[in-house]
Each structure stands twice: as C-alpha cells, then as structure tokens.
Amino acid sequence: MLIHRGAIMADESSRSPGGANGNGTGSGGDGAASKLHIVGKSRRRVDARAKVLGQTRFADDLTLPRMLHCKLLRSRLPHARILRIDTEKAKKAPGVRLVLTGADTPIAYGILPVSQDEHPLCTDKVRFVGDPVAAVIADTEDQAFAALDLIEVDYEPLPTIASPEEALATPEPRIHEYGDQGNLHKVVAFDFGDVDQALASADQVFEDVFYYEGNTHLAIEQHASLAALDPDGKLTVWSSTQTPHYLHRALAKALELPAAHVRVVALPNGGGFGGKSDPFNHEIVVAKAALVLGRPVKICLTREEVFYCHRGRHPVLMRFRTGVKKDGTITGMELNTLLDGGAYGSYGVASTFYTGALQTVTYQIPRYRFRGCRAFTNKPPCGPKRGHGTPQPRFGQEVHLDKIACALGLDPAELRLQQLVSPRSLTANFMRIETVALGECIRRVVAGSGWKERRSKLGLGRGLGLACSSYLSGAGLPIYWNDLPQSGVQLQLDRSGRVTAFCGATEIGQGSDDVLALCVAEILGIDPFDLRVVTGDTDLGPVDLGSYSSRVTLMMGNAAIEAATRARDLIAGPVADKLGVPRDRLVFAERRVFDASDPGRGMSWQDAVILAEAQHGTLGTTGSYKPPMSAAKYKGGGVGPTPTYSYSAAVVEVEVDPETGWIEVAKVWIGHDIGRSLNPPLAEGQVVGSVYMALGEALMEEQVFRRLPPKLSPALVHKFPSMLEYKSPSTMEMPPVEVYLVEDPDARGPFGAKEVGQGPLLPVMPALANAVYDAIGVRVDEIPVTPEKILRALDAKERGKPARHGPARFPEVPWPEALQVPPPWEGGDGHATNDRPKKPRMPRPGEPGGPPIRPEVRR
C-alpha cells in the first residue's frame, strides 16, 4: 500500500493551531511548546499489544462465578398481536432459572427521545421476524436454547408491510401508534430559497432517480452482554456497546433504577461501524434477569440475531433535480428521499434529516430543496451505519453530477473543482463550513490515477470514475437535548509520574484509546505508553457520548488537551519557580520539563510532578468539550452541523466483462482532508478500511428480505442472515489502494485533526458506478452494482432503451408544508419564516394515551 502525506498551502486562518481553548475551538499547545513530538509520528497504538496477544477482553470473553446464560425467543411472524404467552413448560425445563416476557419489562425505551418505541421484550405486538418476545435464563446455553421451544405464543397475525411503497399505500393498521402519518414515521420538507425559480433560470435541468439497497455492519464480534449485581447491590452491565452513556440512560429508565446505581462498562468492541450504537433489548433483559435472580447473567447473540439487531444502512430511493448553466454551474438542487426504516425508530429521525443535510457542503448550491420520508416496515430496524444517512444521497448526487458533466461535455473533476464550497462560509441550509481541502484531494487523486490521460481511453471494459464527499467531525448536537459537555476527560497524576486519563469514550477498533493517550502525552511531554487510560466505564470516567458520528477524536481530543493543558499549568508554576525560568519558556518534552533557551536546564517529568504535588496537593484536572452553536436555527437544523467537515475524493478503476457484466476493481486512489493525521498508520487504516467497507456495499452487500407467496404464508424473512450468504469481501476482492492524507490543520480540531473514520467511505460507491459508465457506457443507478444489473443495462442499451439499470420513478409522498428558510445570501438568519408551534409530543407511560405504568419488581 502506498501512503502519501503532505500539507497543502495553509491559508491565513488555518495556520497551525494554538490559542485558548474556547467554546468549540480546538487547541494543541501554545508558545514555546508548540513543536509537536508525538502527533503525526507513526506509532504502535497503546492497545496494540493486548490485541495481538489475544488478551483484549471482549464482552463474550467475560465469565463470572455462578453465571447463568440467556437466550431470547424471537417472533416468527413479521407483524402480529400477541394474544397469549404460556411459559409454564419452559419454566419447568431442566436448568431453567427464569423466564421473562414483556410483562416483566413494560417500560419503553429508544435511542432518541422522540422515538421511545422499543421494549426489552415485546408487550402487545411483534413487528418483525426476530423481535424478541421472551427470554429464558438457564444454567447452560444449551438448556436455555432447548427451553425456547417450550414457550407457547398465540399470535393474531396482522398485515405485513414489506416496503415503503406498501407503507404509503397502507396507513392502517399502523405498525406504531405514533409517527407523522399512518405508517410514515417521519416526513420532512425544507425550501432554502426559491428552487423553482433557480431551476427555471438554469440552461438545463437534470433529473435522476437512484436506489441504494440496505446493508449491515457485520462486525465480526457478535453482540454480547453480561449483567451482575455488585456486592453492594448496584447493577453493572458489561457490554459490546459503542455508546455506554446512552445504554446507561436506557437501563436506568427501563428498569426504573437511579442512574447512579447503574454502571455500564463498554468493553472494546470487536467492530462497531454503528451497529452497537443503540441500547438493545438483550442488554436490558440480562440486566433485568440479574436483578431478579441475583446472579450474573450473560447473553451472546448468534450471527442470525445480530442481523435482527441490524440498525444498518437504510434502503433509500431518491430523486435529484438540478439546474445547471452551460458551464456546469449549479443554480439550484432538489432532493427527495424515501427511507425504508424497518420496524422501529432507532436513529431514524436523524437518519431522515441526514439524507438531505450534507448535499450542500461540498459544492456551491445557491438554492436547495429537500423532502425526506421514513416509512415503518415489518423488518429489522435500520439506523446508523458508517456515514449514517449520507452515503445514499451522496451516491446519487455524485453519479448525478457525473451524468451532468458528461452531458455538458465537461471533465467531471473540473466540474467539481470550479464550484467547491468556500472555507469559513455558510451553506444554503446554514451548515457552517470551516477548512476545505477538497480541491487538493481532487487534484491528488486526479494526478495519481492519471485521470486526465487515462479516463475514457482505456478501451471497452476498463474505466475510471471520480467522486467526492464530506462528513462530520462529530454531530453538533447530542442525541437528547442538554447543555452539558459532549466529552469529558479527567486526569490523575501522582508523585510516581503516573498519569491516568479517564474518559467515557469507547474503543471500537478505531483507536480512541490511542488518541486519548496521544493528546495528553503530547501536551505533557511524556510518551503515550506512560499513560494508563480508563475508558468506556460510566462509573469511572466522565461522560463521553460515545463512538458515533466520528466525534471522538475531535471532541474527546479537545477535552483531553484541555485537561492536559491544565495539568501542565499546575506543574509549570512550581517548576518555573524552582528553575528560575519564566513559565512561558518551559518546554514539556521527552519526559522532561526544561528551558527552551537552555535545554540542559530542567528536570525529569517525575520530579516536576513531585514539585507540583508538593505545592498543590493531590493532582487532578478535567477538560471538557462542547461544540460551537449551530447557525441553523430552524427545526431539523440540528442534524448536519459539526465543528468541522472532513472531505474526501476518490478515483476508482474498474474492469467489466462485456459478455457477463462481471466487475472487478483494479485500484482505488483516495484523498482525505484529515486536517492533521495524529498517528498515520491508524489514520491510513481508517481510510483503507472505509474503502473496503465501501467496496463491499458497492459490489455485493445487501440486507434484503424474502416474502413467501402471501397466499401460502405471511412470512417476511431476512433472505440470508449468515456470514456466508451476506457477502462481505474477502482478501481476494480487495484491490490496491493509494491513500493521500491531505493535511490542512483545522483550528477546531485537536492539533488540527478532523475525522477520518467514516468520510472516506462515501466517495467510493459513486466513483465505482461512474467508472462502470466509463468502462462500458451504461449506468447502474443503484447500489450494489452487480454483474446482473450491468448486463441488464447492456441489454437495455442493445434494445435501444436508455442504457441504464435503476429505479424508474419516485412515488407520490404526502409532503407537509415546507419550512421556508431563506439562504444566508438572501437575507436569511437561519430561522424558518413559517415555523409553527411544535406538535404534541408522544404520550409518556401513565399519561393519557400512553402505556400504563406497571409496578416495577424491586429487589
């Protein structure tokens, strides 16, 4: 693998980071200490040794004395009312200690406050094949499994809703008793300026319909959780979760426990990718069982069950209409999206907004219209997967632009370069742009791939495609409204020279523990290996919201820098006094504190800490981070803002067999605007890993369902909930990748860093589809791009029909009145001019219309 790193010419306001760590502003040292010693160096990550030794403890690796095992009975019907559950036989089965049903855990929960629509075990209805209805806790997993078959459930089947189109046509019966209309969970509409007029003023208006199939995370580790009562009677849950804080809240709510009496420990995740970001049924069930039995209870899901947890990529149908001038300048854009949400809310409201939030942050789009709709269907719920809601419309937009460039006879790279967003600007929908190195990313991949010389010149069957994208460095708003820090870091130092960093952040493989150690070590001038990091534990560390939305490096990093800077300040005083050197001349580096002007004059790190402890008493500092205020004040404007966007550009080279449509990727070139790369092998790993996952989505991965002939069966089942038939690329399918890490430090990021975990996935799918067109002259306006679809497009072309395979039309959706938000350049202030009062919120348990409050069985 070839890696290229390099800074671009930094413009005036993106000079190297420094200054006070104000609200939302990143930092990374100041004064004499600003030379970086660790940042940017290729290092072994702090948790690498444990991982290569097999000593990293994942959730299913834990066992406790007297531990029991839990299995869940899952619905075999896609949609039905539960009439009766008889657990008597199961309770008498060998080894069975407890059988739980929905009546035992009646309180609803959910990741978003606006969709508290899940229950640990279904109470009145099942909504998809795989929805859990009962739990068996037994001495062994075998016994629990055997007892599942002894539970009798009587169902009254309800009509199956298999697709958004069916949901649109079938408002009754409702899958949920809440949501915007019928079986439409969320329907939103925005006008950022008069788009009709913008399209009318264009030389040409292009319209395209695209479809992006759903897919799932497929982390190799299956979800596992262990719950136990502490000796003092409090509850601890160890789990493979990316979001211990949100799980903590859900447990406290669903089990009616004081939050301070619940501890969640997020074990390192064996891959997350967004799939372990929701609080899950099984986590609450084992907690409940441990409370009832007073014994540790563990569950590890089977692979099939992991497919039912899902929360993966929403299938999205979308239509773009874009007005352009002859030179390719965009006058306005309209986007409609229709999401298949599956059976529960999950992050779906946010996902819906995300399908329209980031179209404006790459190219200048003076006016923009977005309509989004998420439907409930009787399938496992969709949610956030790497790129959350944005890869689907990004695929559509970038293929759409490729078609526009081809139609206008323009180079697709030039079309993009000529209208990039400006740094430090606002978009039509009030997303605040900070640094933008997208142009440099495009130039690097264009040069590396020989784009100008090779595009369209490789002969029939081989081609190049280009696409760009952008992603958040952390969501601007937390999932539940609050005014609190989104990440906190606490440091503890003592006379041994030891530094321990505490943070709620969760290691999911991305390297968050290393970022934490690195940021603190850089500021204090010690080695990351000198630190001990304690993370993912709600009892031990300050709150961090979790490993999602690419937020950890930026938010935790800034909090860590603040805490470390405070610690350095505590130490600098007594050291300056002792050495007789002005504080601002002190350098913290190489495990020493010394005079910048006379490096021989100084002392060891440990001696410095001893001095500080003597002066201040026990040493400890904290740091915290809150993102800047969003410029988007309209309702729904909370989804999309971020402290700073990352940018990516990719060129993909494909080979396609004209006879069979067989497709292979020859090579990928990818440039990523990372701000600054903190530990290059890790950053590169995120880029290459994103390319890998993107190629899986682009070529083969599908979370799809099979409906049996309705006359014979109501079944709607996952087509292949297995690692074998859900195709994910092996080593043999992975092409070479050339990575360009483009460094343009952003003042809002720690040491200038932006995100790198999700953004580089986004440009790959459209670049691949564009490459297929370059290779063989047909369009596959659908993900995944499979040989079958290519051949269908070739057949269509041969028959004189449009040379494409893809959806024909976008259905009628009952859109609400659009929020009118004038863009900044048309006098807008970020508010909608027609905002209406909030709709009544969903009734809570005990309120009129809400579910009853059941007396909780207390210990």
Name which of residues 663 to 682 contact another protein (CB under 8 A): 664, 681-682
Q: Say whether the peptide bond before residue 542 is cis (omega within 30 degrees of 0).
A: no
Residue 597 binds another protein (CB under 8 A)? no
Q: How far is the CB of 283 from another protein (least distance, A)?
A: 18
Residue 226 binds another protein (CB under 8 A)? no
Give whichever of 307 and 430 is closer to another protein, judged by the CB atom: 307
Residue 725 binds another protein (CB under 8 A)? yes
Phi-psi region for residue 44, left (φ > 0), alpha (ψ -120 to 50) or beta? beta
User: Any residues with CB less than 8 A from the CB of 304 and at least 6 apart, and which?
Assistant: 130, 718, 721, 722
Q: How far is the CB of 73 from another protein (least distance, A)?
A: 9
Site string for another protein, 165-204 (x = CB under 8 A): ----------------------------------------
Site string for another protein, 787-806 (x = CB under 8 A): xx--x---------------
Strands 2-7 vs 425-426: parallel, antiparallel or unpaired? unpaired
Give whichever of 60 and 562 is closer to another protein, judged by the CB atom: 60
Exposure of 2 by Cβ count < 10 A (0-12 exposed, 13-18 middle, 19+ buried)? exposed
User: Any residues with CB less than 8 A from the CB of 223 and at least 6 apart, and which?
Assistant: 59, 239, 240, 276, 280, 282, 300, 301, 305, 306, 309
- Of 623-662, binders to another protein (CB under 8 A) are 655-662
Among 259, 260, 723, 853, binds another protein (CB under 8 A): 723
Q: How far is the CB of 324 from another protein (least distance, A)?
A: 35
Site string for another protein, 308-347 (x = CB under 8 A): ----------------------------------------
Beta partners for residue 154, in sequence order:
84
User: Any residues with CB less than 8 A from the CB of 859 and at least 6 apart, and which?
Assistant: 229, 233, 291, 294
Among 717, 796, 803, 818, binds another protein (CB under 8 A): 717
- Measured between alpha carbons, how far is 132 from 76 in angstroms, rounded to an integer? 10
- Of 762-791, binders to another protein (CB under 8 A) are 786-788, 791
- Measured between alpha carbons, how far is 621 from 492 in angstroms, rounded to an integer? 7
Q: Say whether the peptide bond before residue 173 is cis (omega within 30 degrees of 0).
A: yes
Among 300, 375, 401, 587, binds another protein (CB under 8 A): 300
* Residue (of 485, 536, 495) closest to 513 by Cα position: 536
- Of 248-287, binders to another protein (CB under 8 A) are 268-273
Give whichever of 42 and 833 is closer to another protein, judged by the CB atom: 42
* Residue (of 180, 183, 267, 162) closest to 225 by Cα position: 267
Q: How far is the CB of 433 from another protein (least distance, A)?
A: 29
Tokens of 492: 């503890």
User: Any residues with CB less than 8 A from the CB of 689 and at least 6 apart, and which?
Assistant: none
Count the helices and strands in the chain (H runs, E runs): 19, 35
Residue 152 binds another protein (CB under 8 A)? no
User: Any residues with CB less than 8 A from the CB of 135 and at least 6 apart, and which?
Assistant: 70, 71, 72, 73, 98, 99, 100, 101, 121, 285, 289
Give whichever of 303 and 583 is closer to another protein, judged by the CB atom: 303
- Measured between alpha carbons, how far is 205 from 320 in angstroms, rounded to an integer? 10
Residue 1 binds another protein (CB under 8 A)? yes
What are the φ/ψ torsions at residue 532 (nearest 5 degrees)? -110, 130
Among 14, 21, 40, 47, binds another protein (CB under 8 A): 47
- Of 460-479, binders to another protein (CB under 8 A) are 461
Residue 713 binds another protein (CB under 8 A)? yes
Residue 590 binds another protein (CB under 8 A)? no
Give whichever of 269 and 429 is closer to another protein, judged by the CB atom: 269
Q: Which stretch binds another protein (CB under 8 A): 72-80, 190-198, 477-485, 533-541?
A: 72-80
Amino acid identity at 500: T
Among 33, 36, 77, 517, binds another protein (CB under 8 A): 77
Tokens of 184: 């439409």
- Of 409-468, binders to another protein (CB under 8 A) are 461
CB 391 within 8 Å of CB 765: yes
- Of 481-540, binders to another protein (CB under 8 A) are 508-511
Q: Which stretch binds another protein (CB under 8 A): 29-37, 212-220, 604-612, 639-647?
A: 212-220
CB 282 within 8 Å of CB 225: yes
Q: Which stretch binds another protein (CB under 8 A): 345-353, 516-524, 562-570, 725-733?
A: 725-733
Among 51, 66, 325, 801, binds another protein (CB under 8 A): 51
Among 685, 750, 806, 830, binds another protein (CB under 8 A): 685
